[in-house]
Structures are given as C-alpha cells and as structure tokens.
C-alpha cells in the first residue's frame, strides 16, 4: 500500500511525500505520485507532525456531561464508579471509537490509554487507524489482589494480537489504590516482559500527605522503593512533586505527562512545576486526561493552557515559548511516548495537513500560531502509518460512530443528546 501527498508546505518549502508500508520513502520538492499510489492533494496545506496525547481514559467520552462541577471524590464515588461497574466491552469499544474520531479530527495520532476492557479499546484503536499504548487500570486496595493480578495477566494475553499500531502496557491506577506488594509485582512483571507502565502520581496534596503519613516517603520516593520508577514508566500529573522527587525521576529516566486542563477542572490547587522538571532533565509530555474530566480531547486547548499557566506561575512570559510547547505536545521532549523522530525518510508516515486558508494560521511564526491562536479545527487531514484517516475534514464511518456511542451511553443511562434529534443525523 502506498500513498502520495502532493503540493504540501513543509518548513516553507513546497514538497511532495510518498509513503510505503506506513513509512516515508520519498520527501522533497520533486516527489510526484506514481501510478500505484493512493493520492491526497494537499493543495498548499501545511504539513506538521501529529500530536501525542500522553494520558487519557478514552472511552470516558460516554461520561461527558455526567456529574460536571462536582468535587473529585464525590464525582468518582457517586457518578463514575457505579456506572463503571456496569460497563460492557461494547461500551468501551464505541466510547473509544468516539474518542478516536475526535482525536483524528483534532490532530492526535497516538495516545496513552488507561481503561477497563482494554481489549475492546485496542480493537477500537485498530479500527480507527490510530496508535495507542493500552492498559487496564489495576486496583487492589479493596483486597482483591489475586483477582487484580489475574486480570492484569489475562489483559496482556488478550492484547497480544492487537496489531502493530497497538502496544500493551500495565497501568497501576495510583499509589493509593494499589498495595505496595502489588506495585512491586507489577514492576517485576513489566521488567520481565519489557512493558511500559503508566500511573497517576502526585495529583493532589492529599495524596502526598497520605503517602507521608503511611510510608514516611513522598510519592515518587515511595514508587521508587517499589521498583516502579524506570525508563519505561509514564507518570501522569506530578503536580505536587518537590525538587528531590523531580531529581529522582530524572535520574531514573521516567516520563512525566502534564494534564493542565484536567488539573484546573478538578481544582488540584497547584500548577505542575514545569521549569523545575525541565531543569532536572525530565522527559515531559502533554495529556488531556479522560474526557470525563477535561472534557475535550482537543490537544490544542491543552497546549495553549499549558503555556499560559507556566508563564503565569513563573511570572515570566518567557518561561516556556511556543516552539517548546509544540515540541512537548508532539512528543519530541519525551521519546518514550513513542512519537516518530521527525518527518524524514524512514520514519513512520504520521502527520497532519493544516488548512492553508485557516485565519488562525495566516501570519507570524507557525509555532506561535499553533499554540496561541489555533484549535483542532485547523486540521484538514490526518495520516497515520501512511493511511488517510481524515481527508479534507471527512472521516469515514463518523456517523455510525456517533450513533452507536450515543446508543451505548443511553443504555448506561448517561446521555441526553444535545439539540433536536432531527438536526442530528446520528439520531435519525
Ligand atoms: Zn487519568
């Protein structure tokens, strides 16, 4: 399978691009389609790498608008957990498809997912054409250690044949929901099988206080004691980390993913200490967190808010610039998140075409326009592994995804559709 893109703008140059078997094989001003190629005329659109969402719970699209504006624990205990106990694989499949649709439309090409029924999530990612690292949340503070470990192992078996765009991982939910003994077991299993591990860490002050009270250690030191800080570990949030923890994370080579919108919406009370993380030399990525607590999967929004919050917190408008923010959002500052190195020969053909005529992209420097002015609406076409997932704003099968996801949400007693049914083709 081969694809040719013609008339695209790359770093100010008009170029053509050819991809074969998912990899860029030709790129330059004189590259033209061959007879065997599928084609996509970029018509002057700007080509950029895709965005990498370093932390989400994709199927929670079904929970959008369910329990907004509640305190975190009340939201979880009264709203989310009771429904999650009733979730079926088909709910996760269509919720994840809906998430993938939004990601394709707003330029995300790869994401890190932590959610129930990961085999259904993996199937959705595969069918949508995206890339993801997929893992089941692991929780055993309720004493269900044996069941949790069995579920972790069987999820790995089920994910084994998920396809080349999908990576299986392990996802201990957090240090306060997994016993120390199980954290150690997960660390050993991950090391033995070479698996990535994702975990929420230091999201709230309560978590830090409780960890100090129980273990006399701050969260990152405690996680390290359990053997879980390694170059294969992806930590989400890190809002309340102190200097000693940042140094430790840097020394262990773990990745830190910041989720600025979700942190603000859930009012965690502090801003991720990015300048200190950068100074320590930590790999940093960006995530949306779940669409139940963001509520958008449009990484452009998280990108802008990340930059603004860091400037504000540092009282320094130069604290982080647009080019650096763009690098973080495209995974360039955290190679472990799995982004292609760059748009060059031999690299995966994952990229976006941005509307040439978008008003937001008319003037100035491209990174500033992308970070401060644009939204996901500037994405015109999305290509992953040499396959066109969105062509000029059109995603094949979008209406079915909308209709089926709504059906699943209704079945769970969640969704009231917005707008008149007759205006929504998915409801007809
Ligand atoms: Zn999360």
137 Cα–ligand 1 center, Å:
10
Structure token pair of residue 61: 């699209």
Report pLDDT for 102: 98
CATH fold label, 51-337: TIM Barrel (3.20.20)
Report pLDDT for 415: 66
321 Cα–ligand 1 center, Å:
26
pLDDT in tens, the chain (428 residues): 899 999 999 988 999 999 999 999 999 999 999 999 999 989 999 999 999 999 999 999 999 888 888 888 888 899 998 999 999 999 999 999 999 999 999 999 999 999 999 999 999 999 999 999 999 999 998 889 999 999 999 999 999 989 999 999 999 999 999 999 999 999 999 999 999 999 999 999 999 999 999 999 999 999 999 999 999 999 999 999 999 999 999 999 999 999 999 999 999 999 999 999 999 999 999 999 999 889 999 999 999 999 999 999 999 999 999 999 999 999 999 999 999 889 999 999 999 999 989 999 988 999 999 999 999 999 999 999 999 999 999 999 999 999 999 999 988 988 666 665 555 655 54
| Cα–Cα distance, 201 to 188 (Å, whole number) | 19
135 Cα–ligand 1 center, Å:
12
| Cα–Cα distance, 203 to 176 (Å, whole number) | 11
| Alpha helices (H) in 199-259, listed in sequence order | 205-215, 219-225, 243-252
Reading phi first (left if > 0) and then psi (alpha if -120 to 50, else beta), residue 296 is in: beta
Tokens 């330029």 appear where?
107
Among 289, 290, 330, 322, residue whose Cα is nearest residue 306: 322
φ/ψ of residue 129, rounded to 5: 90, 5
Peptide bond into 295 cis (omega under 30): yes
pLDDT digits (tens, 9 = 90+) for 235-285: 999 999 999 999 999 999 999 999 999 999 999 999 999 999 999 999 999
275 Cα–ligand 1 center, Å:
22
- Write b or e for each residue in 171-204: b if 16 or more Cβ atoms lie within 10 A of its Cβ, otherwise e: bbbbbbbbbeebbebbbebbeeeebbbbbbbbbb
171 Cα–ligand 1 center, Å:
10
289 Cα–ligand 1 center, Å:
5
166 Cα–ligand 1 center, Å:
19
Report pLDDT for 66: 87
150 Cα–ligand 1 center, Å:
23
Among 320, 328, 276, 281, residue whose Cα is nearest residue 302: 328
130 Cα–ligand 1 center, Å:
20
| Cα–Cα distance, 224 to 212 (Å, whole number) | 14
Report pLDDT for 68: 87
261 Cα–ligand 1 center, Å:
12
Q: Who contacts 407 (Cβ-Cβ below 8 Å, separation ≥6)?
A: 94
240 Cα–ligand 1 center, Å:
15
Report pLDDT for 277: 98
Give the three-state DSSP class for 350. coil
**DSSP of 119-160:** HHHHHHHHHHT-EEEEE-EE--TTS-HHHHHHHHHHHHHHHT
72 Cα–ligand 1 center, Å:
12
| Alpha helices (H) in 24-144, listed in sequence order | 72-74, 81-84, 89-106, 118-128
200 Cα–ligand 1 center, Å:
6
| Cα–Cα distance, 399 to 409 (Å, whole number) | 15
56 Cα–ligand 1 center, Å:
6
172 Cα–ligand 1 center, Å:
11
3-state helix, strand, coil in the chain (%, to 5): 40, 20, 35
28 Cα–ligand 1 center, Å:
40
SS (H, E, C) 247-311: HHHHHHCCEEEECHHHHHHCCCCCCCCHHHHHHHCCEEEECCCCCCCCCCCCHHHHHHHHHHHHH
26 Cα–ligand 1 center, Å:
39
241 Cα–ligand 1 center, Å:
17
193 Cα–ligand 1 center, Å:
24
178 Cα–ligand 1 center, Å:
15
What are the counts of helices (DSSP H) followed by strands (DSSP E) for the chain? 15, 18
Domain ranges in the chain with CATH number 3.20.20.140:
51-337
Distances (CA, A) of 423 to 101, 415, 420, 428: 20, 17, 5, 9
What's the CATH number of domain 2-49+345-390, 3.30.1490.100, 1.10.579.10, 2.30.110.10, 2.30.40.10? 2.30.40.10
73 Cα–ligand 1 center, Å:
14
Report pLDDT for 53: 98
| Cα–Cα distance, 92 to 83 (Å, whole number) | 12
186 Cα–ligand 1 center, Å:
18
Among 186, 203, 204, 182, residue whose Cα is nearest residue 195: 186
Domain ranges in the chain with CATH number 2.30.40.10:
2-49+345-390
């Amino acid at each position: 399978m081969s694809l040719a893109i013609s008339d695209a703008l790359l770093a100010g140059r008009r170029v053509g691009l050819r991809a074969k078997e998912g990899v860029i094989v030709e790129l330059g001003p004189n590259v033209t389609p061959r007879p065997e190629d599928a084609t996509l005329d970029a018509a002057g659109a700007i080509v950029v790498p895709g965005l990498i969402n370093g932390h989400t719970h994709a199927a929670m699209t079904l929970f959008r608008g369910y329990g907004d504006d509640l305190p975190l624990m009340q939201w979880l205990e009264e709203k989310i957990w009771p429904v999650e106990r009733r979730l079926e694989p088909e709910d996760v499949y269509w919720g994840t498809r809906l998430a993938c649709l939004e990601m394709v439309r707003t330029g995300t090409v790869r994401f890190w997912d932590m959610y129930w029924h990961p085999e259904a999530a993996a199937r959705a990612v595969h069918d949508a054409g995206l890339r993801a690292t997929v893992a089941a949340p692991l929780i055993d503070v309720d004493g269900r250690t044996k069941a949790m470990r069995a579920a972790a192992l069987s999820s790995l078996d089920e994910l084994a044949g998920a396809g080349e765009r999908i990576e299986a991982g392990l996802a201990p939910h957090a240090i306060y929901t997994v016993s120390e003994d199980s954290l150690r077991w997960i660390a050993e299993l991950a090391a033995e099988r070479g698996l990535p591990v994702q975990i929420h860490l230091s999201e709230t002050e309560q978590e830090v206080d409780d960890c100090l009270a129980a273990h006399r250690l701050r969260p990152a030191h405690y996680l390290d004691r359990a053997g879980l800080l390694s170059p294969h570990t992806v930590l989400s949030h890190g809002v309340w980390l102190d200097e000693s923890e940042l140094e430790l994370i840097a020394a262990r080579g773990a990745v830190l993913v910041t989720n600025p919108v979700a942190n603000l919406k859930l009012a965690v009370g502090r801003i991720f200490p990015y300048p200190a993380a950068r100074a320590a030399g930590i790999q940093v990525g960006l995530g949306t967190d779940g669409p139940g607590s963001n509520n958008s999967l449009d990484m452009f929004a998280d990108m802008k808010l990340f930059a603004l919050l860091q400037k504000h917190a540092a009282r320094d408008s130069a604290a982080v610039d647009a080019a650096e923010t763009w690098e973080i959002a495209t995974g360039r500052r955290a190679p472990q998140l799995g982004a292609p190195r760059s748009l060059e020969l031999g690299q995966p053909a994952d990229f976006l075409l941005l509307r040439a005529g978008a008003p937001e992209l008319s003037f100035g420097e491209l990174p500033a326009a992308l970070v401060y002015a644009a939204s996901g609406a500037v994405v015109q076409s999305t290509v992953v592994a040499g396959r066109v997932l969105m062509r000029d704003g059109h995603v094949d099968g979008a209406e079915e995804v909308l209709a089926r996801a709504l059906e699943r949400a209704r079945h769970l007693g969640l969704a009231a559709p917005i707008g008149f049914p007759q205006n929504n083709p998915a409801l007809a």
